[in-house]
Structure 1
Amino acid sequence: MRYTVYIFLFAALTLVSCVETPDFDTTPTIAFNSIDKFTVPDPFSGPNARKDSVIITIDFEDGDGDLGVTAEERSDTTLLNSKYSGWGNYELKTLRLEKGSFVELPTAVTSKLFFPVLKRDGKPGPIKGKLDFSQIFFYSRFAQPTVLKFQVRVRDRSLRVSNIIETDTISVPLD
């Protein structure tokens, strides 16, 4: 019986040691995964009001896992604004289709975006996963269906910037 336990432990350790650690670059890499739209009621704007919730999903890889901003960093706005000048750690550019080509649509809501730390244990090491961002578009009396697409990039706590990805197009209400 004792030898059976030792054989089982040896086999388990052998299998665990066979798992190879991924070798990702320390500069984050992202890829477009999906863009989805859900039309939902907007009870705050009236009984028949509605809004579109657009969810952009990207895949990410980072070799040292330093993606995201800690709660402490977020509470120190002076440090946050000086370190992440211009944009946060998630950049979202909105592009509107106008006369056959896409032009950037400046929006104050998406000018400085942050997402939380993705590797919770704090230890350096590779990380891979999906990151979702949700944006709301409200229907109004003057809103017209408008074709949009988005450009996304991220940066890590060492300020290394990922590649830029573009989403597929989607139609949402805009004034």
Structure 2
Amino acid sequence: MNKAHAIRKTVLLHGLVLLISLSVFGCFTEPTYPNAPQITFKGISRYTLAAGTGVGQQKRDSLVITVGFTDGNGDLGNDLPISSSEMNRYRQAGNWGNYKIRAFRLENKQYKELSTGENTFLAFPRLSREGRTGAIEGDLELKQLYPYTQPYKFFPTKYRIQIRDRALNVSNEIETDTISVPYLYKD
């Protein structure tokens, strides 16, 4: 095979690859989602963290809740830290940030909602660049820590979660699977 033939064959091969690539990428259309975010429960897991040295470094469980999301105009999340005017806007609209999680603990064969101060105003960072709009999708991971305070007991717990965008559009509410986590226990 001569050199000119080898060059012609390489050019034709690269041209064919380019043509196939253009036709595949040319068929891509951006997904369309509602402007109000939609979420799905993807998973929940618990990891035990060993005790460290120093005050407040007792053994603890790290709980990770994974939520899938879609949003039609990409206005999820906030610049962190949230400005006081933005925080006031969220507070006037239900007194929660852009992530709402409620815990329900199984006691006496009934799930009872826990009132904890740690979940009153949660926020996650902006998920698209400033000034960009358009459909987005992905996963959010919320991490919670549960220390092994003395005395403790494991209780089955589940969570209900919602998110909202900067326009205050609220998502559907999802419920997680049940998982056991340690709580301070008094008889």
Which residue in 2 is equivalent to 1:76?
83
Output the TM-score relative to the length of structure 2. Answer: 0.83
Which residue in 1 is equivalent to 2:75?
66
Q: What count of residue pairs does the alignment treat as equivalent?
A: 171
Rate the CA distance shift 1:152–1:44 in 2: closer, same or farther, 3 A: farther
Q: Which one has the largest radius of gyration?
A: 2
* In structure 1, C-alpha distance between the alignment counterparts of 2:137 and 2:153, rounded to whole Å: 38
* In structure 1, C-alpha distance between the alignment counterparts of 2:53 and 2:168, rounded to whole Å: 39
* In structure 2, C-alpha distance between the alignment counterparts of 1:8 and 1:113, rounded to whole Å: 48
Q: Which amino acid aligns with 2:163?
A: V
Query: Is 1:152 aligned with 2:158?
Result: no
Please identify, of 140-149 and 3-12, the stretch whose mean Cα deviation from structure 2 is larger.
Answer: 3-12
Please report the RMSD computed on the Cα atoms of aligned residues, expressed in angstroms.
2.2
Select the residue among 112, 119, 127 that pairs with 1:118: 127
Which residue in 2 is equivalent to 1:174?
183
Please identify, of 135-144 and 7-16, the stretch whose mean Cα deviation from structure 2 is larger.
Answer: 7-16
Moved beyond 2 Å, runs of 4+ = 3-15
Rate the CA distance shift 1:143–1:111 in 2: closer, same or farther, 3 A: same
Q: For 1:91-106, list aligned pairs within 5 A.
A: 91-106=100-115
* In structure 2, C-alpha distance between the alignment counterparts of 1:166 and 1:75, rounded to whole Å: 27
Which residue in 1 is equivalent to 2:43?
34
Gaps of 5+ in 2: 1-7
Gaps of 5+ in 1: none
* In structure 2, C-alpha distance between the alignment counterparts of 1:45 and 1:138, rounded to whole Å: 14
